[in-house]
Structure formats: structure tokens, C-alpha cells
């Protein structure tokens, strides 16, 4: 094992927070992962994936295992569907592009989302009307309690909006090693209801879009709207879009008749967190090294050597102001490691 000591994680988290790991190991095989977890001195390792949905608050005085498991393969297929297995260390966007290159549909709306494949089920990532859970079939995980591989079904993972068992009750038990997605080979079911996607397709005069057209439209939208983490540290959407009941919406509409909302199940609606943050006066605001992006208020950015504490305090300011103004408590989407 190539174990390293006192390693900076600044380049390994998209916020660019400069914290150190007392011990660091880049793991490329499941056998190595098992070997490490079997050692008593590494009983509470921190599993680092793409570092894209993460806010590190302090140095990590424990082993950081950086997932480097690679590989994509077709496990099974019919005339219409295909089952594709991707290892946890594959870059998500590159995996999506691989699927599109092979004409496998289902994940195209999730193009350009940063991070690794192994993180996708944890967060149940989603964008433009699609969540990864819609195509998810199963995943293989390493159970920390037994140090054995286990297969979990879609039902086992209990996917919800930006949530799963991996973020809640089994946060510290399972390590995702690979994911299997069931994708469409023919009769691709496109999700192009979002106005932004429709606008791009219309601009390009595309009337019968392919999955590649949808992917390229999403890439264009995200590139124009969201900052590149390599140029300006960020973790994408910092907050979840809040879900409220329709009664609460009616009350809000008395003061804010133009409030964006999207109908959900069980008499509920989803609001746009970015809109709430913008109306609270934070869009483009900067407080020292931290700020809200000038094009998308939902994205908090590291302007220059911000600490995790500075980002956290700025986020708490936003939560407080939105609560005071709208009576709605925003919840962080990113995983905050204190």
C-alpha cells in the first residue's frame, strides 16, 4: 500500500478547501480496500470520492481512502435494454458520455454533474427532471461491519429527493464499489420539459432530438449558468430545493405571486432555493473569501482561499435570512464534514 502522510486535500475537493489528511491512500482494487478496513488502526476511515458534494471544515485526523476503482462493462442486454456496470471511481460525466456514445439512454439529463459514479446513489443526484434513481438497478457495496461485498437493490437504497440510506441510517456502514444502471437501447424516453432545454433545442432548430442533443443542451446550460470548480471553487447547488404543502404556497403567493413552484405528489410543491436566496438579497453577494455566484444564487463559491468555516458561516447567514423572510428553512445539499 502506498500510504501517504499529512496530505493536502485542496485539489481533491471541488470547493478547494485546504485541509490536510493525517493519512491518505488511493485505492484501486477491492482487495486493497478490504485489506485496509481489516486493520485495527484504520477503524474509522473517511471515504473520499470525487469531492464534489462536500464541505470539509477541518483537518482529518484519520485515514482518507480515495476511491480509484475503475471500469465500465455491459453485463446483460435485450433488444431494448442494457445493464451497464460502472465502478465507483469512474468520473460521472465521462460515464454519461460513454453511455451516449454507445446509444444507451436514460442519463443524458445528468451530463456535466461533477463527481464520481460511486457518489451518485448517495446523493441520488438529479437535474432537469431526472434523478439517477430512475435508471438505477443495483449497487455493490462493501459492508464495513463484515468486510464483505453485498448487493443492494433499488428498493434497498430508499431513494428520495437528494437522499438515500447512504446519507442517513447507513452513512457509516456501506462503501459503494460499483453501480449497475438499466438503460434504454431503443425508444429513448427523453425528458425535455424544462424550459431551458427546450430553449436550447429551439435555438439549434432541433425538432426531433436525440439523447446526444439533450446531453449537449444540458452541457451548454450548465456551462453558461454554473461556475467551473477548476476556476472558481464550489460544490454546485449548496442547498436542496425546499418542498412545502400547497397551503403554504398560497400564503407565500399573497406576497410573492411570481414565486416559481413545481407540483409534487401528496399535495406538495417544490420551490426554487436559488430564487429564495436571490430574493433574500444574496445573489452575487461576497463576504470576504466566500460568496453567492452572480449567475446562480444557489451556488456558493470560494473566491480566494476560503476556509470551510467561512463557507459554513455564510451558508448559515443565508438560511437565517430566508427563514426570516419566507418562513422556510433551507437544508444543505452538500455533505458537511465538521
**Alpha carbon distance 159, 126 (integer Å):** 11
Q: Which fold has domain 72-184?
A: 3.30.465
Cβ 72 vs Cβ 85: under 8 Å = yes
**Alpha carbon distance 146, 114 (integer Å):** 31
Cβ 54 vs Cβ 235: under 8 Å = yes
Domain residue extents for the chain: 4-67, 72-184, 233-337
pTM exceeds 0.85 for this model:
yes
Q: Which fold has domain 4-67?
A: 3.30.43
Three-state secondary structure call for residue 154:
helix
**333 included as an active-site residue:** yes
Q: Does domain 233-337 have CATH number 1.20.59.10?
A: no
Kindly name the residue from 49, 90, 162, 178 that is annotated as catalytic. 162
CA quadruple 246, 247, 253, 255: dihedral positive or negative? negative
User: pLDDT (tens digit, 0 to 9) for every residue of the chain, 338 residues total?
Assistant: 789 999 999 999 999 999 999 999 999 999 999 999 999 888 789 999 999 999 999 999 999 999 999 999 999 999 999 999 999 999 999 999 999 999 999 999 999 999 999 999 999 999 999 999 999 999 999 999 999 999 999 999 999 999 999 998 998 899 999 999 999 999 999 999 988 999 999 999 999 999 999 999 999 999 999 999 999 999 999 999 999 999 999 999 999 999 999 999 899 999 999 999 999 999 999 999 999 999 999 999 999 999 999 999 999 999 999 999 999 999 999 999 98
Kindly name the residue from 90, 140, 216, 333 that is annotated as catalytic. 333
Report the residue count for the chain: 338
DSSP 311-334: HHHHHHHHHHHHHHHHS----B-S
Other beta carbons less than 10 A from residue 266's beta carbon: 7
**49 included as an active-site residue:** no
**162 included as an active-site residue:** yes
Amino acid at each position: 500500500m502506498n500510504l501517504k502522510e499529512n496530505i493536502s486535500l485542496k485539489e481533491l475537493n471541488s470547493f478547494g478547501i485546504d485541509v490536510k489528511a493525517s493519512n491518505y491512500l488511493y485505492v484501486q482494487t477491492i482487495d486493497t480496500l478490504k485489506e485496509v478496513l481489516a486493520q485495527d488502526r484504520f477503524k474509522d476511515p473517511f471515504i473520499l470520492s470525487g469531492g464534489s458534494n462536500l464541505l470539509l471544515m477541518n483537518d482529518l485526523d484519520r485515514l482518507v481512502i480515495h476511491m480509484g476503482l475503475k471500469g465500465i462493462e455491459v453485463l446483460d442486454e435485450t433488444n431494448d435494454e442494457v445493464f451497464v456496470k460502472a465502478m465507483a471511481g469512474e468520473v460521472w460525466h465521462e460515464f454519461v458520455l460513454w453511455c451516449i456514445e454507445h446509444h444507451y439512454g436514460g442519463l443524458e439529463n445528468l451530463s456535466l454533474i461533477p463527481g464520481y459514479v460511486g457518489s451518485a446513489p448517495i446523493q441520488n443526484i438529479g437535474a432537469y427532471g431526472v434523478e439517477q434513481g430512475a435508471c438505477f438497478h443495483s449497487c455493490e457495496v462493501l459492508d464495513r461491519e463484515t468486510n464483505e461485498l453485498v448487493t443492494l437493490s433499488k428498493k434497498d437504497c430508499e431513494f428520495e429527493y437528494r437522499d438515500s440510506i447512504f446519507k442517513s441510517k447507513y452513512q457509516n456502514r456501506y462503501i459503494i464499489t460499483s453501480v449497475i444502471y438499466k438503460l434504454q437501447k431503443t425508444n429513448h424516453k427523453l425528458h425535455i420539459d424544462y424550459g431551458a432545454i427546450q430553449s436550447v433545442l429551439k435555438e439549434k432548430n432541433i425538432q426531433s432530438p436525440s439523447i446526444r442533443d439533450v446531453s449537449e443542451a444540458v452541457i451548454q446550460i450548465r456551462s453558461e449558468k454554473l461556475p467551473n470548480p477548476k476556476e472558481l471553487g464550489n460544490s454546485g447547488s449548496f442547498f436542496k430545493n425546499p418542498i412545502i404543502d400547497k397551503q403554504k404556497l398560497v400564503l407565500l403567493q399573497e406576497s410573492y405571486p411570481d414565486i416559481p413552484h413545481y407540483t409534487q405528489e401528496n399535495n406538495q410543491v417544490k420551490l426554487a432555493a436559488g430564487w429564495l436566496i436571490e430574493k433574500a438579497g444574496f445573489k452575487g453577494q461576497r463576504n470576504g473569501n466566500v460568496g453567492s455566484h452572480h449567475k446562480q444564487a444557489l451556488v456558493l463559491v470560494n473566491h480566494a482561499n476560503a476556509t470551510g468555516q467561512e463557507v459554513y458561516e455564510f451558508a448559515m447567514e443565508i438560511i437565517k435570512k430566508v427563514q426570516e423572510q419566507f418562513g422556510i428553512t433551507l437544508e444543505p445539499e452538500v455533505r458537511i464534514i465538521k
